[in-house]
Amino acid sequence: MSLVIAMDGPSGSGKSSASKGVARALGLRYLDTGAMYRAVTWWMLDQGVPVDDPAAVAARAADPVIVSGTDPDAPSITVDGRDVSAPIRTREVTNAVSAVSAVPEVRARLVALQREAIAGGGIVVEGRDIGTVVAPDAPVKVYLTASEEARAQRRARDLAADPSATVTLTQSEQARRDRLDSTRKASPLAKAADATEIDSTELSLAEVIEAVVRLAKEQT
């Protein structure tokens, strides 16, 4: 199947769960591009590269070997052969990923990898610039959003193992990341002009998946 579904939106909107659910429902592959940027960020931190120094990040952007699995039932991400599915979800990585992902050399490298994965079709791709930059010709584009409060609550639940990750703190960090992602010069977070916006604030996961599946069937 050549279908490509581009799923964009801010953190906490439910993109990952919805994208995996849609991929399962339609028998498609799944690609989490955010995990790729997190993986590079984790590697930079692990290597002691100052993530607030764009030149330093750019100089090392080509070094880590990033491999993304596309099975929606068992998505994986490795860096230099190491499974980093867990460490890339820490608050340290979350708070640094916007700075790293704003570096043009990082984006250029990962967009190339993403397009390689998309080339075969039959995939749901989630991120922040899929419908606008990575796959602007995708036949199905969704911009998934939710209220700031709902997104912060979801992110705090994701970080439940970290006792300092209160909803208030998470919302503050999230607002900062939204601002950085939306104002960066390289591929900012934005809704594609032809994307269908879905507000998941009052919707269950099943309802979001159903809405996207219905949209895919209508538009293809």
38 with 90: CB under 8 angstroms?
no
**Predicted confidence (pLDDT) per residue in 98-125, tens digit:** 999 999 999 999 999 999 999 989 999 9
Question: Which of the four pLDDT bands, split at 50, 70 and 90, describes residue 92?
Answer: very high
For residue 94, give both structure tokens. 């979350």
**Predicted confidence (pLDDT) per residue in 160-196, tens digit:** 556 555 667 766 777 777 777 777 777 777 899 999 9
146 with 53: CB under 8 angstroms?
no
All domains in the chain, ordered by first residue: 4-214 (3.40.50.300)
Q: What is the pTM of this model?
A: 0.87
